[in-house]
Amino acid sequence: MGTENNSNKVRLGDWMFNSIDISDKKMFYEYIEKSDYNTNLWSSNFAYLWAISQSKRRNIIWKMVKGMLVTFILRKDNGLNLACLPFGKGNAEQLLSTIYRCLRYCNRWNKHNKIKSIATVRTMNDLQLTYLKEFNEFGRYFTIRSLTGIERHFDVQQLVTLTGKKFKNIRYKLNLFRKRYPQAKVREYHPNDYQALILLSDHWKKTAKNRYSNIFDGVYYREIIKHYSELDHLILVVEIDGQIVGMITGGILPTGQSWGCLIKKMEQFDGLNEMMTIEFARTINKINPNVELMNVGSDLGAPGLQAYKDKYRPVLNLNRYRMALK
């Protein structure tokens, strides 16, 4: 079972795969829209999958299997796993049949390459697991384990209005920021801002490393900013006295909902995170008032991140899981 690379084609043993390309976005969107389960997992968004594939540590590859679009992660050590559930039309039994076939192949490939770990579907959430368990034989063939951290989904309309006692702290932070920095301007990103956002990220990392043991967005930060237009990505920046002091990114998904991807700021500006998050929700609402939810990803089990995301009163909190064959 050898490896063969030819342009965007990757042969792993008997199977031929395609390396993910930014031009695949339309196809991914079509299969996401066809899916019968809730495709709201943060890490299955096309922009994220494509951006992390630019890392030297992994390659994101895909293959059509039983009429479904299956996304794989090929690690640097040649280990092969599924990145997320397959996309495409099919009930729970059909979806699991596709997963079963793919995981068996991954295990065969990994064994050949002396990879000791069992192949997995790397991430799914509560809603997706509930859908899979509609197949009565799920427990006979598959095993799951919980991942650290809860995926948080904010109510966009609630963030637009900020009514009620539960948003008292957010309103206080917004008023504090506006009072201290009345000259602050929020605008959409322009490619000329790229270098300023790289400097902003460098500054953020120096302060964030004291709060977070792992920072994961080093590669996909640059790639998403460079290719924001091709990825249908919205980037807002905040300027104070001509200097960019904060940025936030995300967008509207083919599911009809939205996600928040990246947020960075200069540490000294109290209330800036809150201001950017609320302005982003309001911008999403202006673009499409029908968007109800914003998935801002997992809190990774970090107490500080948990507390920060809880301030926005998420209306959907989803546990995440990893799945393997028994």
DSSP 52-84: HTTSTTEEEEEEEETTEEEEEEEETT--EEESS
Q: Which helix (H) or strand (E) holds 187?
A: strand 185-188
> What's the residue count for the chain?
326
CA dist., res. 99 & res. 71, Å (int): 11
Write down the pLDDT at residue 209: 57
Query: Are 3-136 and 152-318 in the same CATH fold?
Result: yes
CATH for 3-136 is 3.40.630
Give me the phi and psi of 91, to 5 degrees please: -75, 180
Write down the pLDDT at residue 29: 97
pTM above 0.95, yes or no: no
- Nearest-10 Cα torsion for 264, 270, 276, 282: 160
CA dist., res. 65 & res. 252, Å (int): 28
Fold of 152-318: Aminopeptidase (3.40.630)
Write down the pLDDT at residue 1: 64
CA dist., res. 157 & res. 293, Å (int): 8
Q: What is the pLDDT of residues 206-242, one digit of tens each?
A: 776 555 444 455 678 999 999 999 999 999 999 999 9
Nearest residue to 252 via CA among 84, 40, 63: 40
Q: What is the pLDDT of residues 181-206, one digit of tens each?
A: 999 999 999 999 999 999 999 888 87
Instruction: Tell me the pLDDT of the chain averaged across its residues.
Output: 93
Nearest residue to 64 via CA among 82, 83, 86: 86
Q: Within 13 Å of residue 140, how many CA atoms lie on the same side as its CB?
A: 7
Task: Locate 210 and state its tokens.
Answer: 């004291």
Give the position of tokens 């049949």.
Answer: 97
Q: Would you say residue 148 has pLDDT above 90?
A: yes
How many angstroms separate the Cα of 220 from the Cα of each of 261, 262, 277, 305? 10, 10, 20, 20
Q: What is the pLDDT of residues 7-51, one digit of tens each?
A: 689 999 999 999 999 999 999 999 999 999 999 999 999 999 999
Write down the pLDDT at residue 25: 97
Write down the pLDDT at residue 213: 46
Write down the pLDDT at residue 6: 62
CA dist., res. 79 & res. 168, Å (int): 48
Provide the residue ranges of all domains of the chain, joining segments of one domain with +.
3-136, 152-318
How many angstroms separate the Cα of 156 from the Cα of each of 29, 110, 116, 120? 22, 43, 44, 33
Q: What is the pLDDT of residues 275-319, one digit of tens each?
A: 999 999 999 999 999 999 999 999 888 888 888 899 999 999 999
How many angstroms separate the Cα of 144 from the Cα of each of 57, 114, 128, 129? 25, 23, 12, 9
Q: What is the pLDDT of residues 76-120, one digit of tens each?
A: 999 999 999 999 999 999 999 999 999 999 999 999 999 999 999
Cα dihedral across residues 131, 256, 33, 233: positive or negative? negative
